[in-house]
Structure 1
Amino acid sequence: MKYPNAYIGKWHQMALRTGLILRRNLLTATVVMFVAGTGAFLILQDSLQVTNSYPRIAHAGGQVGSATYTNSIEALDQSYSAGFRMFEIDFSWTSDQQLVCLHDWEDSFERSFGLQTRGAVTLRQFEELVRQRSLYNKCTLVSFMDWFAAHPDTTLVTDIKDKNLDALSLISGSYPQYVSRIIPQVYQPEEAAFVKSLGFQNIIWTLYRYPGNNAAVLDMVRSMGVYAVTMDTVRAARGLPLDLDAMGVATYVHTINDYADTLYYKSRGVNEIYTDSLSPAREQALLEAGEVFLTDSELFKQDQLKQLEFTRRLEIFAEKTTVHYSLDKDFILDSIFTNQVTMNDFQSGILQITATGNDPYLSFPRLSNPQLALELHIQIQTPAYTWLQVFYTTQQQASFTEELKVDAELMRGSNEIVLSIHDESPITRLRLDPGTLPGEYAIQSFEIRSD
């Protein structure tokens, strides 16, 4: 599909010309083109063998048969045979303060034993349940460490949701000889220093309990000295892995069970994955045989559809003939009302601003010719993942309200978007809220058009 070049902004053109993302850790590096602000990729070629420096992690010990979350000796053995050497294990406290390999005492307990419990049971009761009611030999801390000792080339990644620091203190005190082979997961930044004081050389910061946004993650991780940061697929899709990679911080995403999706997340900057079943050796064989590609990923296909939709929207904007406002031609400082915004510079049609709070906005002059439908083309550079909003007023509603707005998801860095506004009453004014975070923003284009 041909782009309307006269209206594709310079940031979009630069992405098309030079936006290659080539991850140094890919098993087979697919050279892809990332289109700024759209979350989409265009394939150029599949080539270049590269060494992966981060091991894949078997989630909850890995899958055994069709079962996941077993945290069992059978799962460990099967995953080890498949080539895994790093294992995430869930630990929970029994009622007599011992650690057993169980995700939780609610759903996981019922799934494992076919029973419900009102709370934790004793270690002895747990072991009896494993013998009598479990298909698999679920570990205790003691039995896991026996297996760990017999497999000296393995690494343990802990997942301890309750009293994590107490559990890690118990493990380091009871098994000091294995501390160098254990990578604890921490859930909040303030846990890192204490965990390191226990002698653990590496830690993983897992984000599923951390309430802060991506900007806060980037700020906090600087002083934590982590082995890696683990995140869910939502954060991974919002640009955090590439931002962390720029800081030299490795990333994992959980839980991925499709080989093509693994390639997709690696193309988004992720180093490796937590998985139930995706053997690294099997993946390498599939790649070498040409049987798995990034383009097989449903996530990739969704991105391609988004790219096609963005191209269509850009073409629609280019076809609009009436320009109501253009930043590079119509900007007059005194005509814009701002909130929590410091105007820094305006050169070559680019407005540099500093947002001093969480509710920055720029309210533009009243439109001289109100319309029922408007198309907006916006190019903006943002300090972190955030949301842009455009509020509008009409002849019937003279004040800005939450009901009259459109919004768009923005990644850290350069973004290009096209928004449509329609209303039954003519639209009279627009207000641009560039993000919800303090920091430096650069608005390269803000243009309003209609038929």
Structure 2
Amino acid sequence: MVLVLGLYDRVQMKSRLERDFYPLEAVFEKAGLEKQSDQDYTKAGLVPWSVHVDADKIRKNGYRFPYAQSEQDWLGRIYLPKESLEASLGQELGHQGTELVLTSKSQDLKQVLATTRLIAHAGGTMREAGFLSAYSNSLQALKQNYSLGHRIFEFDLNLTQDGRLAAVHDWEGEALTSQEWESAKTSDKANRQAQYTSLFWEDILKQMEVNPDMIVVTDTKVQSKSQAAIEEQYRILGQAVQKFDPALADRILVQLYKPEDYTLVEELSFFKHYILTLYASDLKEEAIAKALVDKPKIVGLTLPQKDERLTDSLIDQIHAQDRLVFVHTVDGFATLSKMLNRRIDGVYTNNLLAKDLELYQAVLDSQKLNFKLKLATTKKFLW
């Protein structure tokens, strides 16, 4: 009888797994989470996880992962959609028979950039009733946009008076001290009532620990700064990662502002991936591709979307070097479509979400299908 029940249980479980429903408790246990109650789980680490399972969503450290359906088996075990469980854990789920398999997502940063295509600019827009707040670089913006599907985040970073990197696009006047910034509330210039939690670079690293698939692009501002200040920013950036968790360097893309920065940052020996951004550079089109040749860790470059240097010829040259081309900042579907049709690999955006990419792909697939149907009709008519 026991053998029959065991076989029945495995058959039932395998059927659900094949429909992409996974047993919640078993998945969490495999991910290292400890059950505290029927709805609450925790995980120890550099940054502890606190997970709560509601009837329609999983909540983790302020992040939300909704699901539309759940199932319960004959033993009362809860099964949730694979997609929602993967999103909450930042890992990939699979199975071999009824054996669960949990693996890290791809650490090939260039491949992730090429397939994800969207970089949430300044942490992404904070969406509130009747108001969109961009450029906040805030904890709330990060949590909201990660919950909405973003996985790659750009943050603006500026030095405080006492040498810490604060997530702020620019100081309005004199730089604050770290103590002043810690107690400050970031706000939107167009709406002073919108106030959010300010971040330091170390706080962003903590959020990367909570989200194992989160990638960060740094924007340490260089305009109107001395070379010494620029070097200090890179040094502080790297030292914080080394102190907190060196493995995070695999998921950090450091923006360089001129080709010569490559040697400088390489000498610090902190980081593995760079992207050359040209908004502060007067480098001519014909010199851009040449400047990348002996710099293998630069995975790509980014330019303003209306930059006159962004020609088809330049895109061809960068792709010929097996590197990516990004543009900033794109917030409309029409512009997104235009850029992707030009073979741009991705965009920095305040407002766009993964669903916008899905819509673009659906339109593209529809156009391809219509073309095939017209071609087939034409051939039939000719015959």
Shorter-normalised TM range: 0.5 to 0.7
Pairing 1:204–2:281 present: no
Deviations 1:70-120 (A, max 9, x none): 0001111111112111110000111111111001113xxxxxxxxxx3x11
Matching residue of 2:217: 157
- Pick one of 56, 59, 65 that aligns with 2:118: 56
CA distance in 2, matches of 1:84, 1:292: 25
**SS of residue paired to 1:278:** coil
Matching residue of 2:180: 125
Contact kept in structure 1, 2:114 and 2:324, CA below 8 Å: no
Q: Which amino acid aligns with 2:177?
A: T
Q: Between the two proteins, what is the percent identity of the paired residues?
A: 26
Pairing 1:214–2:285 present: yes
Matching residue of 2:199: 139
Matching residue of 1:428: none
Instruction: Give TM-score, length-normalised by structure 2.
Output: 0.56
Q: Which amino acid aligns with 1:205?
A: L
Matching residue of 2:25: none
Higher relative contact order (CA 8 A, sep 6+): 1
**SS of residue paired to 2:122:** helix
Contact kept in structure 1, 2:239 and 2:270, CA below 8 Å: no
Contact kept in structure 2, 1:96 and 1:123, CA below 8 Å: yes
Q: Which structure has the larger Rg over C-alpha atoms?
A: 1
Matching residue of 1:71: 137
Q: Which amino acid aligns with 2:320?
A: A
Matching residue of 2:351: 277
CA distance in 1, matches of 2:283, 2:356: 36
Contact kept in structure 2, 1:185 and 1:203, CA below 8 Å: yes
Matching residue of 1:230: 302
CA distance in 2, matches of 1:64, 1:228: 28
Pairing 1:252–2:329 present: no
Deviations 1:274-320 (A, max 9, x none): 00121123420464278999xxxxxxxxxxxxxxxxxxxxxxxxxxx
CA distance in 1, matches of 2:265, 2:114: 27
Deviations 1:179-223 (A, max 9, x none): 221110000111112323423111000001111110011221112
After TM superposition, give the deviation of residue 242 of structure 1 in Å: 2.8
CA distance in 2, matches of 1:194, 1:269: 31
Q: Which amino acid aligns with 2:176?
A: V
CA distance in 2, matches of 1:148, 1:89: 13
Contact kept in structure 2, 1:105 and 1:120, CA below 8 Å: yes
Deviations 1:356-375 (A, max 9, x none): xxxxxxxxxxxxxxxxxxxx
CA distance in 1, matches of 2:359, 2:161: 46
Pairing 1:169–2:231 present: no
CA distance in 2, matches of 1:292, 1:166: 51
Contact kept in structure 2, 1:187 and 1:210, CA below 8 Å: yes
CA distance in 1, matches of 2:141, 2:366: 25
Structure 1, unmatched stretches of 5+, are 1-50, 107-116, 294-451
Deviations 1:332-370 (A, max 9, x none): xxxxxxxxxxxxxxxxxxxxxxxxxxxxxxxxxxxxxxx
Q: How many residues align?
A: 233
Contact kept in structure 1, 2:157 and 2:169, CA below 8 Å: yes
**SS of residue paired to 1:69:** coil
After TM superposition, give the deviation of residue 129 of structure 1 in Å: 2.2
CA distance in 2, matches of 1:152, 1:164: 29
Relative to structure 1, the CA distance from residue 238 to residue 147 in structure 2 (aligned partners, 3 Å threshold; closer, same or farther) is same
Q: Which amino acid aligns with 1:222?
A: V
Structure 2, unmatched stretches of 5+, are 1-112, 223-228, 368-383
Measured on the aligned residues, the alpha-carbon RMSD in Å equals 2.6
Contact kept in structure 2, 1:82 and 1:281, CA below 8 Å: no
CA distance in 2, matches of 1:131, 1:55: 28
Contact kept in structure 1, 2:181 and 2:198, CA below 8 Å: no
Q: Which amino acid aligns with 1:179?
A: A
Q: Which structure shows the higher strand fraction?
A: 1
